[in-house]
Structure 1
Amino acid sequence: MTRVSAFATEKDISEHLPLLRKGAEALTDDEKAALQHKVDHKWRLPKQLYLTIITCSTGAAVQGWDQTGSSGANIFFPKVYGINGPDVRSTLLVGLVDARPYIGSAFLGCWLSDPLNNWLGRRGVVFFSAHFCIWPVIGSAFSNTWEQQLANRLLIGIGMGVKASTVAIYAAENPPAAIRGALVMSWQMWTAFGIMLGTVFNLAVWNTDDINWRLMLGAPFIPALPLLFLIYVCPESPRWYMKKNRCPEAWKSMVVLRNHPLQVARDMFYIHSQLELEHNLLHNSNYFKRFRELFTTPRVRRATLASFVVMIAQQMCGISIIAFYSATIFKESGSSDFQALLSSFGFGLVNWLFAFPAFWTIDTFGRCSLLLFTPPADDQGITRTVLVALFAYLFGAFHAPGEGPVPPAYSAEVFPLSHREVGMGFAVARCLGWAAVLSMRFTFLLKETGTVGAFGLYVEFNLALIMIFFFVPETKRRTLEELDWVFGVPTHKFGSYQVREALPWWIKRWVLWRRDAKLKPLYQFDEKTAPPPKVRDSMDTV
């Protein structure tokens, strides 16, 4: 009670002290009913929270549409720029132009996320990045040389990196723990939606003669426009306000993101307690110190390793290559321009539709389970147009519910608040950096080895399941603050637990179908608490 009173006085929110004290007092029947209602009806959330997720989803659609805009334009612009020959120089230049946004993201955009978030807040960063998704995109449509195109796509990449590093954090910090995964994974699902929209638009304009590729490259600015207006209708992240010691404003934001003031009081004091601990351990921190601590502080290092593994797993399978070069792949298999764009639309549609199951499974089946049990299918047997399309669609169907949406959502939640921006920036930089490498090399591999040889190489890369099993702890239904317990467990202890406890339990439960199989808990809060099933599902108690 003393700590609660001191918190209210120090942070200038004394008018809410009675609510804050409720955490240490007996609750009334109405207050108990309000908390139980959150568990029984977890999707009945305030409109402002849904508006925040819709805004974040719009930002994701921008990124997806830009990927498929270049995918369709790849068939046409190399001829205009005089780089459509079979020589190595032309092949590598096409790959460089396509990879430039991911180079800009990996080497500049992602690393701007931490300082920009510190100065501007989550909303300010999204507003900033939206401009890079409008003006350079329009500029790319008017580029008359490959050098001009290269410069515009570098600027697009800066905005892409800042946005991808921030939007997932913004989405992760606002929802309650029970459905955080479903709402945060909307980033990847709506990226897939943007990919599909891009393929639809490419089909619509393919027969517009010499300007078709310009329209394909320029159209992705359309979904970026609403970001400029929607983002400041949404509340700022309460956790960011509290990190900046602006608690009255944090309270106002949290009130519109929760259904009951008691939930606001509980979450505010929870966040404050975590920030107190982080401040004591990591005072006088700066950008370079925080980056160094990604690899030197044990709790943060484990989060860095886990996010690195899931992000690299997403790219090692080669799914981004189909997204970036789907039209080129289908054309190389013998399709006409229209057939290639139509087949590309089919891939975009499959990739989006098969992301929907993750809404229901990411917070129940779990992040790690989806990563382990939905690896993309082996596609090295593809040959002509029909088989290319069939295996590409199967590839997308397996990828969409697991390795597609999970890595960004997982990486956005695993870091402590003190290192969240720089940690997410590092994770996204590794993801998009690998995407840049794949994009630059693919056109060359396609010319040299053909479709079968190029994709056969990515089949060999897709060995991330072992790393996921040993290095990626489950985070479903844990609050962001509870994850300090999860990543406080040493890596060797977690790996030993996976082999000795988790794997035998899984075999007994799901192979031998033994319903009496019990999994021994690993974390201390599992051992110390035994709340009723409904309350346990909500993870309201520690």
Structure 2
Amino acid sequence: MPRKPSIYLFEDNSPGDQTPRQRLWPQRSFGNAAERARRNINAKLSNPLAGFSHAELRRQGRTFAISNEIGDDASDIRAFELGAVLAQAPEKYEKVRGLTAQEKEVLRQEFANRWSQPWSMYAVIALCSLSAAVQEWTKRLETWLSGLVNAAPYLCCAFLGCWLTVPFNHYFGRRGTIFLTCCFSALACLWQSFTSTWWGLFVARFALGLGIGPKSATVPVYAAETAPPAIRGALVMQWQMWTAFGIMLGYAADLAFYHVPDPKGVVGLNWRLMLGSALLPALVVCAFVFFCPESPRWYMAKKQYYRAYRSICAVRHNKIQAARDMYYMYTLLEAENSMKLGQNKLWELITVPRNRRAMLASEIVMFLQQFCGVNVIAYYSSEIFLEANFSAASALGASLGWGVINWVFAIPAVYTIDTFGRRNLLLVTFPLMAVAMFFTGFSFWIPDDTDAHHAAHIGCVALGLYLFGIVYSPGEGPVPFTYSAEVYPLYVRSYGMALATATLWFFNFVLGVTWPSLSAAFTIQGGFAWYAGWNIVGFWLILLFMPETKGKTLEELDQVFSVPTRFHAQYGLRQIRYVVKRYVLRDKNVQPEILYEKEEMIPVQDLGYNA
């Protein structure tokens, strides 16, 4: 049996300390031992292979392969013998006996060159990218639609679409869900292009949410479950990067079809072509989705181990890598199945402290992705530019420029999200987004009575919106989906992602339906100031309640989210003091505080807290 789960201490560097001192969490009781164990139930998933000898792991891997009839020959059984050993500590491959020189080189390249992957892995990347582009292309409607009709798909996502994620994934798998939702999207795009009444357009747009909702929760999970660990963060964030690409394509379609004249008997051919054109990437995804491998974890959940092995071999260079990753998935699934959880997984998100903290952080970043104000620009940028006295064609051109910036500046996040960190990206960019929002709003007060004033007026408005796109794209753009896809334990991941995406789309709906009234009541200056204020609030929420997940293994994430909320909030406030001393007062002797430490361990069942 694996050794008992454990949880790490953390360091507290109080002012004036020359060396960090260890600090224990308060040891409060919550009733009997069973209740305390239940509250820390996620620790069972921390490291299911810890404590086994290499000989025992080889025996387990061989037994697993033979009993489940995996593989075609002795090489497959050997792969699982060695793969089980590697699954315990993948980075220690040099110490595993029995690996050939060629196999060691493959494993070495996995860590040295993380983007050296089989073509099928890049097919998965392309699939995830196109799936993201599908939904965002459909957003570019603001010049002709507003309010409720514009936000209809996101109303459906919040209350119906996202909650279809769990049954769709259960019955149809990840690929099947992506295929179905892209079919829904294509049909809804075609439907809305043929409508002739506002309520018909509303119904068609509402039906579009049946495609957007489950897909937005499934694609990041599919990416996370298919990708090797070395590129998992970068691959999951492709969702947002290519979402931005879809927005850019939508702006391009707006501009391309703007001057299309109406033939005899047809009204509004240009906007009908804009709406209908979004079905093109959806059809491409439907055509080649089944050429990509299914998620091996989904096959394993269905006890189809041979298919899971074939699937994971398709996205790995070597059988050793495939066997390693598959055996680790298997041990995690067995750990999940051994836990006697309640029937309602959504309730587990609230009652289990580790899950609750992950949910809080995930909900914060998903809420803020909308209330930072980005989709006010994405939906209504052309109208905003028209308010700034751009011509109609120039407004569409300026909107396309914003779309290009939004996509181009998301590309660096492929590197920075795993180096600079999720939390640090947000702490830096939220204040800058607030400044850009204030600057844009205040620019509308620049007089527009002369040619010089007109040039300054429209130039400053465009500059403010572009600056916002520059700082949003590598920060609050890619982080929320990446963060939400990784913070939940496997046994509640689909439920956590369904809740996270439902939250995002609900507040997306709120922005879409309220901006016309908000800008009319507050003036456009007040509307931008409103969202600038939310960016300031967002900085404090991130500082206090969002732990960093960069470079963390599953074991370390369980440690991170087992730290009581109040301790992390206090740590966040102390970081302000460090930043002031280090970067304002230029004190080079001050050292950053280390919140998590691995040097000593205490049994998790001894910690009965409820933060």
Tell me the TM-score normalised to structure 2 length.
0.78
Q: Which residue does the alignment assign to 1:344? A: 399
- For 1:45 and 1:120, the matched residues in 2 are separated by 27
- For 2:211 and 2:317, the matched residues in 1 are separated by 34
Q: Which residue does the alignment assign to 2:254? A: 202
- For 2:115 and 2:589, the matched residues in 1 are separated by 29
Distance 1:416 1:10, change over 3 A: farther
Q: Which residue does the alignment assign to 2:234? A: 182
Q: Which residue does the alignment assign to 2:443? A: 382
Q: Which residue does the alignment assign to 1:86? A: none
Q: Which residue does the alignment assign to 1:32? A: 104
Residue 136 (structure 1) aligned with residue 188 (structure 2)? yes
* Contact 2:110–2:230 under 8 Å retained in 1: no
Q: Which residue does the alignment assign to 2:313? A: 255
Aligned-pair distance for 1:479? 4.3
Residue 422 (structure 1) aligned with residue 495 (structure 2)? yes
Q: Which residue does the alignment assign to 2:286? A: 228
Distance 1:240 1:27, change over 3 A: same
* Contact 2:106–2:318 under 8 Å retained in 1: yes
Higher mean alpha-carbon deviation, 399-408 vs 470-479, is at 470-479
Aligned-pair distance for 1:470? 2.5
Aligned-pair distance for 1:451? 1.5
Q: Deviations over 1:171-206 (max 9, x none)?
A: 111112222121111111111111111111111111
Partner letter of residue 67 of structure 1? K
- For 1:385 and 1:506, the matched residues in 2 are separated by 37
Distance 1:138 1:332, change over 3 A: same
Matches within 5 A, 1:263-282: 263-282=321-340
Distance 1:261 1:388, change over 3 A: same
- For 2:485 and 2:503, the matched residues in 1 are separated by 14
Q: Which residue does the alignment assign to 2:81? A: 21
- For 1:184 and 1:108, the matched residues in 2 are separated by 24
Distance 1:292 1:71, change over 3 A: same
- Counterpart among 310, 313, 329 of residue 365 in structure 2: 310
Higher mean alpha-carbon deviation, 210-219 vs 132-141, is at 210-219
Higher mean alpha-carbon deviation, 338-347 vs 474-483, is at 474-483
* Contact 1:58–1:190 under 8 Å retained in 2: yes
1:67 is paired with a residue of what secondary structure? coil
Quote the sequence identity (%).
42
Aligned-pair distance for 1:481? 6.4
- For 1:165 and 1:282, the matched residues in 2 are separated by 26
Higher mean alpha-carbon deviation, 399-408 vs 331-340, is at 331-340
Aligned-pair distance for 1:490? 3.3
Matches within 5 A, 1:516-535: 517=591, 520=594, 522=596, 524=598
1:71 is paired with a residue of what secondary structure? coil
- For 2:218 and 2:345, the matched residues in 1 are separated by 17
Distance 1:282 1:351, change over 3 A: farther
Q: Which residue does the alignment assign to 1:212? A: 270
Distance 1:35 1:109, change over 3 A: same
Aligned-pair distance for 1:160? 0.5
Distance 1:208 1:350, change over 3 A: same
- For 2:534 and 2:304, the matched residues in 1 are separated by 47
* Contact 1:508–1:517 under 8 Å retained in 2: no
Partner letter of residue 385 of structure 1? I
Residue 171 (structure 1) aligned with residue 231 (structure 2)? no
- For 2:288 and 2:555, the matched residues in 1 are separated by 29
Residue 467 (structure 1) aligned with residue 538 (structure 2)? no
- Counterpart among 353, 360, 374 of residue 319 in structure 1: 374
- Counterpart among 522, 546, 554 of residue 449 in structure 1: 522
Partner letter of residue 476 of structure 2? E
Partner letter of residue 367 of structure 2? I
Q: Which residue does the alignment assign to 1:413? A: 486
Partner letter of residue 381 of structure 1? F
Q: Which residue does the alignment assign to 2:65? A: 8
- Counterpart among 505, 513, 518 of residue 440 in structure 1: 513
Aligned-pair distance for 1:351? 0.7
- Counterpart among 131, 134, 147 of residue 59 in structure 1: 131
* Contact 1:521–1:527 under 8 Å retained in 2: no
Q: Deviations over 1:351-401 (max 9, x none)?
A: 111111101111111111111112224223231433221111111111000
Aligned-pair distance for 1:312? 1.0
Distance 1:503 1:42, change over 3 A: farther
* Contact 2:549–2:557 under 8 Å retained in 1: yes
Distance 1:120 1:481, change over 3 A: farther
* Contact 1:73–1:217 under 8 Å retained in 2: no
Q: Which residue does the alignment assign to 2:149? A: 97
- For 1:11 and 1:193, the matched residues in 2 are separated by 43
Aligned-pair distance for 1:489? 3.4
* Contact 2:133–2:246 under 8 Å retained in 1: yes
- For 1:479 and 1:308, the matched residues in 2 are separated by 21
Distance 1:10 1:310, change over 3 A: farther
Runs of 4+ aligned residues of structure 1 deviating over 4 Å after TM superposition are 479-482, 496-500, 502-519
2:277 is paired with a residue of what secondary structure? helix
Number of aligned residues: 503
- Counterpart among 393, 396, 399 of residue 472 in structure 2: 399
Partner letter of residue 558 of structure 2? D
- For 1:353 and 1:415, the matched residues in 2 are separated by 30
- Counterpart among 427, 436, 439 of residue 372 in structure 1: 427
Aligned-pair distance for 1:477? 2.8
1:73 is paired with a residue of what secondary structure? coil
Q: Which residue does the alignment assign to 1:90? A: none
Distance 1:373 1:518, change over 3 A: closer
Distance 1:499 1:13, change over 3 A: farther
- Counterpart among 114, 117, 121 of residue 42 in structure 1: 114
Partner letter of residue 310 of structure 2? K
Q: Deviations over 1:55-113 (max 9, x none)?
A: 11001111121112x13433xxxxxxxxxxxxxxxxxxx30001101101111000000
Aligned-pair distance for 1:45? 1.0
Aligned-pair distance for 1:27? 4.3
Q: Which residue does the alignment assign to 1:73? A: 144
Q: Which residue does the alignment assign to 2:92? A: none
- For 2:246 and 2:491, the matched residues in 1 are separated by 32
Distance 1:427 1:361, change over 3 A: same
Tell me the TM-score normalised to structure 1 length.
0.87
* Contact 1:96–1:439 under 8 Å retained in 2: yes
* Contact 1:72–1:202 under 8 Å retained in 2: no
Distance 1:365 1:416, change over 3 A: same
2:443 is paired with a residue of what secondary structure? coil
Structure 1: runs of 5+ lacking an equivalent: 75-93, 529-542
Higher mean alpha-carbon deviation, 382-391 vs 504-513, is at 504-513
Higher mean alpha-carbon deviation, 380-389 vs 114-123, is at 380-389
1:231 is paired with a residue of what secondary structure? helix
- For 1:422 and 1:17, the matched residues in 2 are separated by 35
Distance 1:96 1:393, change over 3 A: same
Distance 1:4 1:429, change over 3 A: same
